[in-house]
Chains A and B, each alone.
Chain A
């Protein structure tokens, strides 16, 4: 039996209703768990006063400089004693899930046993960072909890100014739109830079996210410094019989209104015999028609990835999306994987040397200009990197002839 429950009239109101209630879960844990009794006391206080009461600190595991999110209560009585002592330390361990977030139940049960032994019993699948969040641990228990999780084959994720936990979509494991081996790219990139993850020394966070197609289920263009998106460069595949079946089922108007006229580059044309023409040169691989007619239309065979750099959330200069730095890259052979790893290394090195403190890659590029960044990491300019060329003349262009010559030389080599 745990200590007596605090009154939680506000949290209690979150037990009713059809959605699963985390409060009911907290109460189940609190039956024999003092930490959860006091956690609920602190949380109820927040609900009542509309204020947060956690502060950070320094807690970690031997050998690593990050990956644990320390939380100490700020709610104290007049003698500086914590009002909710059993939850006065409530740290989180960020643990990286298997790429694509696949589990067997034996693994999940083992997580529960470890967290019952060392932690609060509260686990979040998953945080916005892409980690399993083992929430609620005393300072003393962080190391033994990590040791057992680590022995299971799991490792701490990123926190602070470091390479962060990556994410990849379910992709090739269960999706016909997949144009890449997402989990392999994800693991190649993150696992190559574990030193920069576990010993934070970058200007700020550096995130990798991998989506197998332009539907970008991992939100990588918005959220990742280094966004990898699967695509193809040959013709999309059309099963004209399936096109006819689809039209017979849905009707021509539906297909015209929802497929043909929704193509952002007018690359689709419906023929009189209910077959479909695609202008593959005009197609931007947006995925819309493949989403609607996923049995009739498929990505081509010459698959690879696009890479975009610089996505981030609001702090400090406002939200930025990633922008293209590599329009297409094959991702098949070992050399291809070595190439993307080397490129990521160039990006991280340049970022480490040139970004200001607390500046993300997107902000750095905004400050120095994309061209300086490309030159820094050794990539050539190309028109897929822009939405349009510059519209003002305030630029010094006395290198024009050499630059034009480079373009023609690159074209000749291609």
Chain B
């Protein structure tokens, strides 16, 4: 038997062989950019070279027919070089302005929305969900498809005060990340434990250590070593489920969706911000999650109406204050909004600054 093939440990590939020639030529020598229309960027280099980028939304999880179609479009109407943004948009780089409109026409005809630039609602960054994750409380691609259908107009226009980054996460680990609006699973009941399976499936000390509130302890049930949960302490976060699948946290009824707003990665104006809880108890309702979409659209409508130019969602709420946020959106304010996690006191109002 021949020796197995050993991997070529080549690491991250050099991008230059793949890069559009004008990007390569003007690397590090760009002067400015503008946006001739939504979905199109024009970058001008110090050399005077110009490159037009046409950005289109994709479904991220792409079948090879879709990818080959995008390649055909790139070869026929663009210049054979593309890149992807971290929010799964595809970008076609062009050296001539005359190629922009025919490319847009073709992309739209093939069902790829052109947009996602400037103050628009960008493509939702998301996770794997039921399609591929081993611990998901909901789907990802489906939630995003359903929501982007509803937000399509806001993707292809630039009508928002500033860009809006929406994220979704299928569990409370929050792989989708921080967002201007984040739609995340929030479990509301402790895990249901299959005590027959714990001893064989779980490394028990690891599971005990994984709990953020020390609510898990070793136990014997029916003569078998297992784990039990102090349900008074349990915060239903699901952290025990990945290392111990018999501690099932996902529940078709009680795994709900929560919505968070004001997360921001950029350092522009304010420092980066975490998103904050605004709504919860929303049913996990496939295939189109209409209740979650309603809450998101409502928040977006109020933000669009009320925020000033360049204010991200979090900037806007900081200016108007949380009482007005709940007033304007009509969302209920509850005891669950008050942070009692460690360091949570920093989120209380330790001042006489009151808004009336």
Contact = CB atoms under 8 A, between A and B. Distances in A.
A191 B18 CA distance: 19
Interface in A186-202: 186-187, 190-191, 194, 198
Interface in B1-56: 4-15, 17-20, 23-24, 27-28, 30-34, 43, 51, 53
Most chain A C-beta atoms within 10 Å of own C-beta, residue among B57, B137, B269: B269
Contacts of B284: 50
A19 to B, nearest CB: 4
Interface in B92-107: 93
A55 B242 CA distance: 10
Given A121-B64, A123-B64, A124-B60, A54 B134 contact: yes
B261 to A, nearest CB: 15
B68 to A, nearest CB: 6
Given A99-B12, A128-B125, A219-B177, A321 B272 contact: yes
A183 B15 contact: yes
Contact of A20 (B33, B58, B270): B58
Most chain B C-beta atoms within 10 Å of own C-beta, residue among A19, A258, A317: A19
Interface in B262-295: 263, 265-270, 272, 274, 284, 286-288
A154 B10 contact: yes
Contact of B33 (A17, A128, A215, A294): A294
Contact of A18 (B34, B113, B210): B113
Most chain A C-beta atoms within 10 Å of own C-beta, residue among B62, B127, B132, B342: B132
Interface stretch (A57-65, A340-348, A374-382, A406-414): A57-65
A303 to B, nearest CB: 10
Contacts of A319: 174, 178, 274
Contacts of B308: 257-258
Contacts of B245: 55
B88 A125 contact: yes
A46 to B, nearest CB: 4
Interface stretch (B76-84, B221-229, B297-305, B327-335): B76-84
Most chain B C-beta atoms within 10 Å of own C-beta, residue among A28, A46, A102, A115: A102
Main secondary structure of the interface of B (DSSP, over half): loop
Interface in A348-370: 356-358
A219 to B, nearest CB: 4
B63 A20 contact: no
A6 interface: no
B149 A108 contact: no
Nearest to A167: B86
A146 interface: yes
Interface residues of B, number: 115
B239 interface: yes
A128 B175 contact: yes
Contacts of A43: 130-131, 139
B287 A47 contact: yes
A88 interface: no
A63 B63 contact: no
A282 interface: no
A25 B172 contact: no
Contacts of B173: 313-315
B65 interface: yes
A142 interface: no
Nearest to A56: B134
B277 to A, nearest CB: 12
Given A10-B287, A258-B309, A20 B269 contact: no
Interface stretch (A271-279, A284-292, A395-403): A284-292
B250 interface: yes
Given A14-B146, A71-B134, A102 B62 contact: no
A405 B182 CA distance: 48
A194 B269 contact: no
A46 B252 contact: no
A145 B340 CA distance: 49
Interface in B103-145: 111-113, 125-139, 141-142, 145
Interface of B: 4-15, 17-20, 23-24, 27-28, 30-34, 43, 51, 53, 57-68, 70-71, 74-75, 80-86, 88, 90, 93, 111-113, 125-139, 141-142, 145-146, 148-149, 152, 172-178, 206, 209-210, 212, 237, 239, 245, 250, 252, 255, 263, 265-270, 272, 274, 284, 286-288, 308-310, 341-343
Given A52-B129, A183-B14, 4 more contacts: A10-B287, A125-B88, A153-B10, A295-B32
Pick the 4 closest A-B CB pairs, nearest first.
A17-B149, A25-B63, A50-B252, A46-B130
5 contacts: A122-B64, A135-B132, A198-B9, A216-B267, A313-B177
Interface of A: 10-11, 13-14, 16-23, 25-26, 28-29, 39, 43, 46-47, 49-56, 61-64, 69, 71, 90, 92, 96-109, 111-112, 115-116, 121-128, 130, 135, 146-147, 150-151, 153-156, 165-167, 170, 172-176, 178, 181, 183, 186-187, 190-191, 194, 198, 214-223, 229, 254, 257-258, 262-264, 284-288, 291-292, 294-295, 313-319, 321, 356-358
